[in-house]
Structures are given as C-alpha cells and as structure tokens.
Structure 1
Amino acid sequence: MLPRTLFNSDHDEFRRMVRRFIEQEISPHHERWEEQQHIDREVWNRAGELGLLCMTIPEEYGGLGVDRTYSTVLMEEQSYAGATGPGFAVHSDIVANYIYNFGTEAQKQEWLPKMASGEAVGAVAMTEPGTGSDLQSITARAVKEGDEYVINGSKIFITNGYLSDIVVVVVKTGDSGVGANDLSLVLVETSREGFSKARPLKKVGMKAQDTCELYFDNVRVPCSNLLGEQEGLGFKQLMKELAWERLIIAILSVATAQGAFDTTLAYTQDRKVFGKSVATYQNTRFKLAEMKTEIAVGQQFVDRCIELMLRGELSQEAAAAAKLWTSELVCRVVDEGVQLHGGYGYMLEYPIAKAWIDSRAGRIYGGTNEIMKEIIARGF
C-alpha cells in the first residue's frame, strides 16, 4: 500500500521507545486494570519521567516542545497494543491544550509542569446526564460571589475523572438566552470542598480507562480559575480545539483497525481448518484484502488531515468526516476479524474480542456520528 510520509528517523526511534514502555509498563497490567476499572496512579508518573505526557507543550512548562506527530505515534502504539486504559491523549492533547492556549501565565506555571511530570492528572468535564452532545444546554452553573465562583451541577462520562487532580469544567456563567454566549471554562482542583467523584462507571468496553461521574456541590474556586480573559468564551474555546479532538478519535480508530487486521492475519495464518490454514481459503483472503484496502484508504485520509492540522488548516468538516469514516471503519474491520476468528473471536482472552467491544464507543464520544454528519452537511 502507499507509504506514509509523516514520520522521520526521529519518530521511528521515539516509536521504539514508546513500544518498549507499553510492553513493559502497560500490557502486563492491563487485565488487572480492567478489573479495577482504572490504571495504577504510578503509571502516570512513569510516563511523565519518560517525557510521554504533554509533549507538545513548550519546554518552559515541562513539555518537549514537539509537534503533534509525536502525539500521533503514542496514540497509534497504544491502539496497536489494545492499551485503551491510559487516558494520555485526553490529559496531554486536550486538557493541557486548553490551559496552554487560554490560560493565564500563572495558570500555565501552576499546572502544566505538574501535568507533564505526571504529578497531576487532567480531565475535561463537558457532558451532563441530560444533555449528551448538546453542550449549549448544560445546566452546571458557576455563580460569582465576590472574588469566587460557586459551582453546582454534575458531569458524566468523564475520562480520567476518577484519578483527576485538575478538571477543565464547562459551566454556565450567563443568562443571555443564547447558549453559546453563556458558557465558560473554569479550572477546578479536585481537592476543593464540595467536589466529589463517583466510582468508575461500568462500561461495556474500555474497562481499564477510568470514566466516572463528577459532582459539584457549592464548590468554591477563585475567579482567577476562569480560562480566558472574560466570561462567555467557553463555547468558542471548545470549538477551537474540537477539530483536533475529533482527529484524535480518527487516529485511534484507524490504528485500532490496523491492530485488529494484524492480529486477524496472524490468527488465520496459524489456525488450521480441514487440514490447511484459514488464510489459504479464498473467502478469507478476499475479506483480508477488503480490510487492508479500507484501512489504507482511512490511513491516507487521516494522515492528510494531520498535515492540514500541523499547518493550522484543518476544517471542522474535514475533522468530522475523519472521525465519522474511521470510527465506522474500525467497527467493520473488528467485526470481520471476530468472524474470521470463529468461536475464539468471542473469547475475551483474544485481542480481537477486546477490540470489538472497545471500538464501539468511537461512534459516540467526541460528538455522535449523527452530529458529525450534521457538521459535514453544513459545508454544502
């Protein structure tokens, strides 16, 4: 298939280091993490020691100052290995970006070095129990009292929520009647009185990734915790980062599809039926050929989107299309992989079965695929 042109020898060396980290520090513990529904806190510190957190943040704030192709490598290697537990992408490529792009110098100095080292785990709290993808309808509110905000409400489906130390919370700060103008982003330290976390939610898949509900009961934070120069900028801030967030889902999806293809190819080559390997049958070869072709098409589109993103030219429509196509693609690929595994494809000790249940969420989070179609259609 077509060669990839995004990476150079430095990326290749970095990829080898990431692969060793996953093989030694993540894969041996992943099954246990699935049982406890979150990864061990120490893994965050180890990732920080190796420079794997907040890599795109400038060195003055503890990062490496590299571009997002390095984040791409880390996300791909996690996906190839089926390591869905560590929420590194949310922490490093979403939460840290909000703080770096919209925070004050004091906020950056306070949190980014801690996030880069793994001392502090970051989460972003958007979704509420009754709102789903409709961010403009959120009810969590921050009311100003003197030099403090008093926050009340709840958030659900929060990745890294259970282990979080700092949360970027989407709250309503105005009553203009225009939802987009009433939202703000506020930093909330999880040690604040009135802040609480529920146990990790019992999900169908991605069980090692801590995902929980957060509660705010008269949580008081200083007004200096507001992200941005004034209230009401939250929706615009979210929109500026959403294209990259959706591209992250596309990167993870196509890499998961590639990992599923690789494990399926290996299984069919080794498994024998009626005296010969499953891979020698025409139906198997044709199915594998279809899978490989679809993945190649998806990979080229995602790589092109990454190139545009690096130049600051990635549109919301293109990011939505990438998320839509690849999250549907990975579900087709893993489902075919399960079928080619036969009965063993339904057994959780086989990577294809875990990929099958883990990948389904990609069509929901980051905005459902129905929302992606709406965004794409606005460009007509």
Structure 2
Amino acid sequence: MALDQETMQGLLETVSRFVRERLKPLEHQVADEDAIPPDVRREIAELGLFGLSIPEEFGGLGLTMEEEVQVAFELGKTSPAFRSLVGTNNGIGSQGLILDGTEEQKRRYLPRLASGELISSFALTEPEAGSDAASLKTMATRVNGGYAINGTKRFITNAPHAGLFTVFARTDPEQPGARGVSAFLVEAGTPGLILGPNDRKMGQKGSHTCDVIFEDCHVPADALLGEREGQGFRTAMKVLDRGRLHISAICVAMAERLIEDSLRYAMERKQFGQPIAEFQLVQAMLADSRTEAYAARCMVLETARRKDRLEDVATEAACSKLFASEMVGRVADRAVQIHGGAGYMADYGVERFYRDARLFRIYEGTSQIQQLVIARNMAKELS
C-alpha cells in the first residue's frame, strides 16, 4: 500500500537525518570493530526499517517497490553494513514467505521480522552451487513427522545473527535441476544446525557471513515453506526482481555519496595555486560519475514503477542491477583517483567504499548472470 505523499516525505527525511547524524559518524568504528553497536540496531528497529516491505497487517510499513528504492537511496549513503542488517528482512528473507508461505507461517514469523526481533537469513548458496543455484546438493529427507536436512551452505549473509533461515534443499533426488528443490523455514537453535566461523572479507565490515552446516537437522513438516514440495527454486526466483532493484538502489546511493565526497574534496584541495576542481580532467571524472549515477537512478525508479504496475520486469531488473553495480565500481575508482594519495588512506574512508563496492557485482546474481538473463529474455521476446 502506497503511503500518502506527506507521510512518505516524512519517512525519507527521517531516514536521511538518521543516516547523516547517527550512522555516518559510526562508519570508522564499525569498520574497525567489524560490528554494529547494539543500541544502533535498536534504533533501526524503532524506525521500522526492518519491515519496510512487509505488509502492514503483519506489522511492517508495506512500502511499494518505488517507495522502497527511495528509502534505499537514503539508507545506502553510509556503510553498507547498516543496510545489510535490515536487507534480508525486507528482501529475500521475507519475500518468499510473503509470496508462498501459508497463513500460519506468515503469522508466526512476519511480525517478528518486521519488528527486528528476528533477523532472517537466506541459505541458498553452497560450496559447489552459486550462480548455478539449481545444482544444489543439500538434501531434505522425509522422516517421521518431518524432514532431516543434511548439507552445507556458504557465504550466508546475517547467518551469525539470524533467528530464522530460509533453507533450500533437494527433496526429490530423482528430479534434476530446479524441480526437486524445496524451501524450509528453520529456526536458529534447531539441533543439527551448526554455524561456521565468521568469514574474513575484503570489505563490508560489520556485515557478517558464515557457513551454515546441517547435520541430521530435523524440522517438522510445517517447516516446509507453503507446505508444498518442489516449489523452492521458483520461490527463490520470484523474489529476485525485488532484491536486484533494492541492491541497484543501494549502488546508486553509494555512488552519490562518493560523488559528493569527491566534489567537496576537489573544491578544497589546492594544487598549482587553485582547487583541483578547476582542472578539466578532474571535472571530467566528476561529470562522468554524475552522469552514470543519474542514469542508474532513472533506471531503478522506472523499473520499480513498472513492477508496482505488476508488469514483468525480470529483464529490466537485471539491466538495472548490471548497470548500477558496475557503475558504482567505476565511481569508487574515480573517487580514489580524485582524492589522490588521500584516497588510498583509511582516514578518508574512500578506500573502504572502494572495497565495499566490489561485492555488488557478485551477489544477487553476478554481472555475468545478469547478462545471461538479459540476453535470454531478449531471445524469448523475439521468438
């Protein structure tokens, strides 16, 4: 349900002020300590950011896709660790439940996800199944009263803090590829669910991932998402458009933050007796960055509006994610160049964003997967 204009504007101003006054001053601390302070998590919950896309009837804000990306344009102007904390609750961690869960499953989990009481985690990727998600090997075998899950998931975002895992496992070994895959709602603390050590990553400190291992992890029959086997892969694919648009919006926001920081530095930093912003080659880098960020913003907003009109935007969402994630990498590189030696130093934070930005070209589907999706959909449309 779309918010009225005044309410939506108030929400955007609140998030913008929270990012500017509360989150930006903590960026170095979060990077150094690799942790978000607990009191900040409580404040994020109080603002309702864990439930942006969850329907109002379950305690969320029920934002449209266009409204969600507008919030992401503000929330993404700081360390991506803060966005990552709420991202799965609003995206892949809740949308499958919203789309395909039973009413009982929705009532049991969605209010707790919307409030931030539960952090969700999307357990799809495996050591030998990343881009080829249909080849996953984790098995869910029927046993009396439920299923026994065995297998290993890798690079699972928010797993160290998650209270609820959406786990994808093969329930029919006779069905090849996607058709034999089902999704399960597994609560943290379930016997047989084991967490590996936190991964050491190139960037995005404060956002945690780890392996999730299942060793005869017994779950009841009603843990099966939608209480239907063989629907898991379809569920995963259905939530991707929203997830890709959300990530695209975050890329736009990070790019705009880097452009703002670069412009300010260029106007203050003097060489040869004048600000470096007066030099045309520096101006060219700033202009290219602004142009590309603006193009990405327009792509994301237009695709979000089309999605809200219930149009099929699989191709456009892939285009947005491909362009925006590649774009922010170029903008981050130019930002380091504009800052010169200072851009390579940790004190300015530009090198941190340079490392943080690199992940956007990998998760929610690599750039190469986006290219395949776009090209294949083009061929289908022509035929």
Check whether the contact 2:68–2:246 (CA below 8 A) recurs between aligned residues. no
Structure 1 CA distance for aligned equivalents of residues 107 and 150 of structure 2: 27
Aligned pairs (5 A) from 1:1-380: 8-87=5-84, 88-378=86-376, 379-380=378-379
| TM-score normalised per structure 2 | 0.93
Q: CA deviation at 1:85?
A: 3.7
Whether the 8 Å contact between 1:158 and 1:214 is mirrored in structure 2 is yes
Is the partner of 1:130 in helix, strand or coil? coil
Residue identity in the other structure for 1:306? A
Alignment correspondent of 1:3: none
CA contact (8 A) 1:45 1:119 kept: no
Aligned residues: 375
Q: Is the contact between residue 62 and residue 116 of structure 1 (CA under 8 Å) also seen in structure 2?
A: yes
Q: Is the 8 A contact 1:305 1:314 kept in 2?
A: no
Segment of structure 1 superposing worse, 15-24 or 36-45: 36-45
2:19–2:77 Cα contact (<8 Å) kept: no
Q: Give the partner amino acid of 1:69.
A: E
**Cα offsets for 1:34-83 (capped at 9, x unmatched):** 34434244443332222222123222211123323332233222221234
**Amino acid aligned to 1:197:** L
Shift of residue 207 of structure 1?
1.2
Q: 1:160 to 1:25 in 2, by over 3 A?
A: farther
Aligned mates of 1:178, 1:289 — CA distance in 2 = 50
Partner AA of 1:133 in structure 2? S
CA drift of 1:229 comes to 3.8
Q: Tell me if the contact between 1:39 and 1:86 (Cα under 8 Å) persists in the aligned partners.
A: no
Q: Structure 1 359/52 Cα, relative in aligned 2: closer, same or farther at 3 Å? A: same
- Give the deviation of 1:121 after TM superposition: 0.6
Which runs of at least 4 in structure 1 moved beyond 6 Å after TM superposition? none
Check conservation: 1:138, 1:171, Cα contact below 8 A.
Answer: yes
- Select the structure that is richer in helix: 2
Distance 1:53 1:254, change over 3 A: same
SS at match of 1:56: coil
CA distance in 2 between counterparts of 1:33 and 1:213 reads 22
Contact 1:150 1:220 in 2 (8 A): yes
Deviations along 1:74-103, one digit per CA (max 9) or x if unpaired, are 322222123434421222122111112111
Q: What is the CA distance between 1:177 and its match in structure 2?
A: 3.6
* Distance in 2 of aligned mates of 1:150 and 1:40: 36
Letter in 2 for 1:226: L
Structure 1: distance between partners of 2:306 and 2:63: 16
Q: Is the 8 A contact 1:44 1:119 kept in 2?
A: no
Matched-pair contact (CA < 8 Å) for 2:76–2:83:
no
Residues 279 and 8 from structure 1, CA distance in 2 versus in 1: closer, same or farther, beyond 3 angstroms?
Answer: farther
Q: Is the 8 A contact 2:66 2:305 kept in 1?
A: no
CA distance in 2, matches of 1:80, 1:271: 23
User: Which digits, 9 at most, give the CA deviation of each residue in 1:125-144, with x for residues without a partner?
Assistant: 11011222111111111111
CA spacing shift, 1:37–1:142, aligned 2, 3 Å? farther
Q: Please list every run of 5 or more consecutive structure 2 residues that lacks an aligned counterpart in the other structure.
A: none
Would the aligned equivalents of 1:11 and 1:73 in 2 still touch at CA under 8 Å?
no
More off after superposition, 18-27 vs 276-285: 18-27
Which residue type is aligned with residue 47 of structure 1? I
Q: What does the per-residue CA deviation read over 1:247-294, in whole Å, with 9 as the maximum and x for residues that have no partner?
A: 122111122111111111111011111211010111111221122112
- The answer to whether the Cα contact below 8 Å between 2:258 and 2:331 also exists between their aligned partners in 1 is yes
Cα 1:41–1:167 change in 2 (3 A) is farther
Does structure 1 retain, via aligned residues, the 8 Å contact 2:69–2:301?
no
What is the CA RMSD across the aligned residues, in angstroms? 1.9
* AA at the equivalent of 1:110: R
In the alignment, the residues of structure 1 paired with residue 134 and residue 289 of structure 2 have an alpha-carbon distance, to the nearest angstrom, of 39
The whole-number CA distance in structure 2 between the counterparts of 1:297 and 1:86 is 22
- Superposed CA deviations along residues 156-204 of structure 1, whole A, max 9, x for unmatched, are 1111111100010111111234211111110010110111212221110
Give 1:320's aligned amino acid: A
Alignment CA distance shift 1:118-1:44 (3 Å): farther
Q: Distance in 2 between matches of 1:198 and 1:156?
A: 9
One-letter amino acid of the structure 2 residue matched with residue 169 of structure 1: V
2:51 counterpart SS class: coil
- Counterpart amino acid of residue 78 in structure 1: L
SS at match of 2:222: helix
Alignment partners' CA distance in 2, 1:92 and 1:14: 16
